[in-house]
Amino acid sequence: MAVKKLLLDDFFEEEQYILIGIHCTLEDYRLAFLINQVLDIRLKRKQEDVKFSKDNSSFSLYEFNQEKQHIIYYLVANSCKVKQDQQQDINTLFSNEAFLTTNKYLLPEFKKVNYLLKVETEFPLNKEKLILNKLLKIPQIVTAYSIDVDNLKTKNNLIFN
């Protein structure tokens, strides 16, 4: 009698999306406004941010669902500041403060990236270069580039649903 082995990978297809890293010093709402103008979309702030309870981090998230073309745009901050309780035995210049502020990153491999633009689609998307060229026309964006998703160690952080 033959034994058959089923793998979950046989049933689930890899989600198709592109990921663009954006270097910019603007606030998230201002960048979303400029991206809306250039890409002719309507990114809106979601009620729930991307939150991780293990380190109390929260990353701002904007979304636009283009239902006719089956494309979803996400703009998410890559870094946030988290207040942590300072240990009592540490003697520092600012030892009177009860909290220590540290930076947390959505994608720790790309600490210098300020924002991430994720474009999800059910079909292969050939507009990646077009989107990049339009983003680079925004004067406040220092640079933007595609990130290879296959080599990411923390790609599970990019699941926003």
Q: What is the pLDDT of residues 102-123, one digit of tens each?
A: 889 999 999 999 999 999 987 7
What are the structural domain ranges in the chain? Answer: 15-150
pLDDT of residue 94: 58
Give the span between the Cα atoms of 50 and 40, in whole angstroms.
25
Query: Which percentage of the chain shows pLDDT scores above 70?
Result: 83
Rounding to the nearest 10 degrees, give the CA dihedral for residues 22, 28, 33, 39: 30
Q: What is the pLDDT of residues 54-94, one digit of tens each?
A: 888 899 999 999 998 889 999 999 999 888 765 555 556 65
Report the CATH architecture of 15-150.
Answer: 2-Layer Sandwich (3.30)
pLDDT of residue 7: 64
